[in-house]
Amino acid sequence: MRPVLTRRRFVAGSAAALAALGSRRGAHARGGVVTKRTRLVMLATGGGPRPRTERGNTAHALVVDNVLYLVDCGSGVARQLVLAGIPLPTLRHIFITHHHSDHNLDYGNVIMQAWVSGLRTRVDAWGPPPLEKMTRLYFEMNAYDIDTRIADEGRVPLVPLVHAHELSQAGPVMQDERVKVTATLVDHPPVVPALAFRFDCPDRSIVFSGDTNKSDALARLATGADLLVHEALWVAAVDRLVARVPNAATLKKHIIDSHTSVEDAARVAAAAGVKTLVLSHLVPADDPAITEQMWIDAARPHFKGEIIVARDGMAL
């Protein structure tokens, strides 16, 4: 006779199984629901500045104990956060890897949109020069709206909340009670400096390559990390990609010289000894001839760990 599994027992059993799984992964139980302290959300996973119907311009969210650390701010990042269910006022830190518009176009906008959504607390922004000037000029450009909302809607002054910090070299970036952030310089000509960031969180370590060609410095930064979020280029498709634009020859040279093939991204993951390689900032971002399985198959011979092809909104 089959044992009767009541819903109550099933739920209790499931919770126990999840708790066991959670403790193995360093997660913890809160009110009977197992949660990871650190959640990575792949907000937008395409490379390149064109707006697209799928794979938005680069942005990644790290949520640690419900505090938002944002890595890059491609166009549409605030909307991607809303779609992911991440409250905008939880924004605490922003990290910009480099000043290409597909990584920074909504840097000021996401702060403004967090503010109009109720942000009243400090935001620190970290990235290469001229981040301080960009921050100042953004607020200058939007002074009319900001001042109007303070006077008319009773909002707190925005400018004093935001503190920009310029980074030009490898080393420690910041540390608080939840994360320790370290940067290294990567090679993304002609954009200098270009940065990769490592986040050592309570239960996981996560590294973001930023944009780079194959980088030994990145492999060193990522040594032993749980997740490496690495940009990936499908070299054979570059001709099709650049054929859409009049500056094809120079664009092709930039793409090849300053990005990492999917095969080399896997080699960097192997050299670093990471557990999981997450392919993001995919170039091309929207070529239907290149399937997710093809990205994985290209990486697989060079890396034995878990390989994930990121999609917009994917939580890891």
Interacting residues with Zn ion (CB under 5 A): 100, 211
Question: How is residue 247 written in tokens?
Answer: 């500056």
Least separation in angstroms between residue 47's CB and Zn ion is 8
Q: Smallest gap, in angstroms, from Cβ of residue 46 to Zn ion?
A: 12
Give first-to-last CA distance, the chain, whole Å: 40
Instruction: Look up residue 2 and give its two tokens.
Output: 């089959």
Find out whether 60 and 102 touch, Cβ atoms under 8 Å. no
Nearest-approach distance from CB 175 to Zn ion, in angstroms: 27
Smallest separation, CB 100 to Zn ion (Å): 3
* CB of 190 or CB of 246, closer to Zn ion: 190
Shortest spacing between CB 238 and Zn ion, in angstroms: 15
Q: Is the Cβ–Cβ distance between 255 and 283 less than 8 Å?
A: yes
Q: Quick one: 196 or 201, whose CB is closer to Zn ion?
A: 196
User: CA dihedral in degrees (123, 280, 53, 58; nearest 10)?
Assistant: 30
The residue among 36 and 100 lying less far from Zn ion, judged by its C-beta, is 100
Please state whether beta strands 171-175 and 67-71 pair in parallel, antiparallel, or not at all (unpaired): unpaired
For 127, 163, 294, the CA distances from 160, given in Å and listed in that order, are 19, 8, 48
State the maximum Cα–Cα separation within the chain, in Å, rounded to a whole number.
75
Question: Residue 99 or residue 267: which is nearer to Zn ion going by CB?
Answer: 99
Between 104 and 135, name the residue whose CB sits nearer to Zn ion: 104
